[in-house]
Amino acid sequence: MHPMTRILLLISLVWITAAASGCVTGKGSGADDIALNQAIEKKDWPEIVRLSRQMAQAGQPGGYFNLGRAFELGKGVDQNLEEAKKNYQKAIDGGYDRARAAMGHLLVTEKKYDEAKALTEPCAQKGVGDCQYLLGGMYESGLGVPQDDGQARGYYLRAAEKGVTSAQTRLGMLLLKAEDYPNAWKWLQKGAEKKHPMAHYYLGVILANGLGQNKNEAEAVVYYRKAAEKGLPEAQYNLAVALDQGQGVAPNMNEAWKWFNEAAAGGDPRAQVTLASVYETGRAAPKDVFKAYAWYSLASTAKDPDAARLGQAGVRRLGPGLSPEQKETAERAVHEWKPKRNIQWDH
């Protein structure tokens, strides 16, 4: 397998939910339906919540689904996962099958995999794309089921054919992993049409490496930038490398430094190793052994084996030169550190 086709192990089951993504729109021509659709288009969550409460009070399960989304995401209301579950359950009781996928997602995050599978399999069999997508993710990541890329591709394909954008993107990623470049390109293009940041990122990977397409580093940078600006750390790192090395774009160390920092803060271990190396050597920033040690420490526990190896080597190399107090401070900071992943997908 070409090294750039590795699907990052840091990503298991990605549900990118931003703005008013996934809300039930009004289906009629009445004033309330029009108002709800306008609120969703404007991402006006307080208004979405107000109108969805009216829908729920009128016995429409889609209203409960929208309220569940609001409580899950903390949009228009304070985030409250228990309230999200209550509203999703009311939507399920009302026969709204998409709520099964939403509830299943919450159960997956709680590692209640058997419950999630039991809840979503019936609606997947009925052809509900969101349920098929969730099951595809469970098989891709081996969450409560044996890891099986073939099963994952099957569920993703069924959901992708129904227009589920995240399924189109994940399917493209798995096909890229399997070196089926023509079909990977096809499905990632569909995801990119809906501005899915992961689709943009992997189209960039394909073009940067000439995988089934003519190599085009300049166009790859365009895709990396689209995904980076949406907050995807993997794309931020690749964009930083391109800017640092002048691959498909004029070298710009100041901008590269910005994106290396963004990617490291978002949890990309390759960027963390890069920052550690810069602070260790003073190549592009003032030398700071303490910061270098801290970034190496973060990277040392990464699932990416190369980054982890480099991080561990850096810790061994720099550790003897730090005082016990400095090491204790760095280790405490690492223990308390959380990635700032804020991926935006306005769909």
Domain extent listing, the chain: 33-95, 97-171, 272-336
Residue 35: per-residue pLDDT: 87
Mean pLDDT of the chain, nearest integer: 90
Give this prediction's pTM: 0.87
Distance of CA 100 to the CA centre of its chain: 21
Contact 13, 138 (CB under 8 A): yes
Q: Encode pLDDT of 289-316 as tens digits.
A: 999 999 999 999 999 999 999 999 999 9
Please report, in tens digits, the pLDDT of each residue of the chain (347 residues total).
444 434 333 343 343 333 334 676 555 546 777 888 888 888 899 999 999 999 999 999 999 999 999 999 999 999 999 999 999 999 999 999 999 999 999 999 999 999 999 999 999 999 999 999 999 999 999 999 999 999 999 999 999 999 999 999 999 999 999 999 999 999 999 999 999 999 999 999 999 999 999 999 999 999 999 999 999 999 999 999 999 999 999 999 999 999 999 999 999 999 999 999 999 999 888 999 999 999 999 999 999 999 999 999 999 999 999 999 999 999 899 899 988 876 766 55
Determine whether 323 is exposed, middle or buried from the number of CB atoms within 10 Å of its CB (0-12, 13-18, 19+).
exposed
